[in-house]
Amino acid sequence: MIDHNGPHYYVVFQTPGPSWVEGTAYNEQPGFMDHVNYVSRLHDQGKVILSGPFMKEEGGLSGKLENGGFTIFKAMNLEEGTRLGTDDPGARSGLLNVEIKTLWVPFH
């Protein structure tokens, strides 16, 4: 059944930014752990629904990581979702470009 009043989430697409080091794996980029620690803190606060990198080949860190990823935030509105996405140290440092979109979830 369609939930016409289903929840909204805020999806932050992360792609390589101007500080990205070409030829360096996603998890070896300078400042990568600052990004991971930020997302981890927000996850512990209940703000992160899903987050992770895109993959060329499955297998977690043993697989092949794609450049970029996404995070789905639980936020009060687009303003807060945008703030959560742009306050990421990876975005502030230029490691990651971010694009934020609102996701309505009628099927859950």
The tens digit of pLDDT for each residue in 6-39 reads 999 999 999 999 999 999 988 889 999 999 999 9
Q: What pLDDT shows up at residue 34?
A: 97
The DSSP secondary-structure symbol of 4 reads T
Run of H or E including 103 = strand 96-104
Answer for the pair 93, 35: CB distance below 8 angstroms, yes or no. no
Mean pLDDT of 61-90: 95
Q: For strands 64-73 and 96-104, give the pairing.
A: unpaired
pLDDT at 81 over 90: yes
Positive or negative CA dihedral for 79, 84, 86, 87? positive
Average pLDDT over residues 85-97: 98
Give pLDDT tens digits for 30-66.
999 999 999 999 999 999 999 999 999 999 888 888 8
Q: Show the tokens assigned to 65.
A: 């990581």
Q: Rounded distance, CA 81 to CA 30, Å?
A: 25
- So what's the pLDDT on residue 25? 84
